[in-house]
Amino acid sequence: MSNRFDAVFRGIEPLEDAGMDCEFIAELEARSNGAGGGHTNRINFYTPSFKAYETSEIAGCGKSAWPAVSITGGECKLACDHCQARILEPMIPARTPEELWRVATAQIAGGAQGMLLSGGSNHRNEVEYDAFYPTIRRIKDEFPGFRIAMHTALVDERIARRMERSGIDVAMMDVIGAQDTVTQVYHLKRRVADFERSLQALAATSMKVVPHIVVGLHYGRMLGEWNALDIVARHRPAALVLVVVMPFYASAARPFVTPEPRAVGRFFLDARAAVPDMPLLLGCARPAGAVKTQIDAYAVLAGVNGIAHPADGMVELATRLGREVRITPACCSIALGEEVLALEAHEGVRIDPAQVIAHERSRGRRRGGSLAGIPIVRG
């Protein structure tokens, strides 16, 4: 490890036993210098609202801030190998337009700022929202400050325009770059070109478009990620969200391996270089434990602009690296990424990082470490 990074990592307790790869960290330092231009100085850490969350550095926000709603409940015709429809299970079901109205108004009355709207796909990887668009428009007309982020799945120009007219704020979709992954993991008779056409149709609207790339989607192996990155770079969306496949969703018959953290970190660097002027975010979905700590640290070093549900020690690491740190108790959702809404200057409630560092300094005295002299950037 280089002298600079050795000094940065020394004394960050959560990273001391995380199995960080010293040689790879030196490679990250060498490759990340200048990557992303001035876009990498600021980093936002987002706390999730869909589940309980707290580290020694960040406390979670309320569960009601950004509810996730599914128009199909827990049902999905695809049951992709990486998900098995389980991502829908914790969402609030709203199977009819009338039920969606009741759910939305109840959540707004409870203080919700917006919602993620999703649902299971049909056999063509389309979420059948047709009956719901008038209700979405009604929600937006009566509650204009209420933000709606939609998981679109695959669309054509007509559907994209209908989403736009209904008032959707953020449109999100997974971009898959390998035909074998489309066929084998998603069980789809669609082409990679269909994913690019969908992104192109969404990008032609006024909605904020936030594609996602699932790293390790092909059973934990890297396959189509770089092609997906090329597709995203061609269409210049509002932001790009990276997530890492979580093997525990898979069935025993079609298992996933845990992606190798160094390979994930190298892809983070490639993504930063491919879209240097685009907000690059790490979404909530990624493996837990020491692997998550390694992945998050590599993401900070690679220059991502935001991390949802960060591992312990990331605020301290980013601050030691001289990043402008902001902590936003705002929206985040597994693999869906309405995090982009919090990128806007007026979104979310920002916490002064000095409070976090003061807490860590107190913990440091108890464990024999210190953060004295680390610059704090307030925003």
**What string of H, E and C letters represents the secondary structure of 131-171?**
HHHHHHHHHHHHCCCCEEEEECECCCHHHHHHHHHHCCCEE
Q: How far is CA 96 from CA 4, 92, 279, 342, 374, in A?
A: 57, 12, 35, 29, 53
3-state secondary structure of 275: coil
Domain contains 193 = yes
Per the structure, how many domains does the chain have? 1
pLDDT of residue 51: 44
Residue 171: phi and psi, rounded to 5, are -110, 130
Domain contains 179 = yes
Question: Which segments of the chain have a pLDDT < 70?
Answer: 1-7, 32-40, 48-64, 329-379
| CB-side neighbour CA atoms (13 Å) of 172 | 28
Domain contains 169 = yes
Domain contains 20 = yes
- H helices within the chain, ranges in order? 3-9, 13-16, 22-32, 97-109, 133-142, 157-166, 179-184, 192-203, 225-235, 261-274, 290-302, 314-320, 353-367
Amino acid identity of residue 112, one-letter, is A
Domain contains 3 = no
pLDDT of residue 249: 72
**Are 213 and 244 contacting, i.e. CB atoms less than 8 angstroms apart?**
no
Domain contains 375 = no
CA dist., res. 89 & res. 309, Å (int): 20
Domain contains 215 = yes
What's the CATH code of the domain at 32? Answer: 3.20.20.70
Domain contains 232 = yes
Which candidate, 45, 2, 63, 76, places its Cα nearest to that of 300?
A: 45
Burial class (CB in 10 A: 0-12, 13-18, 19+), 200: middle
Q: How many CB atoms lie within 10 A of CB 196?
A: 20
148: containing domain: 10-367
| pTM for the model | 0.86
pLDDT of residue 83: 84
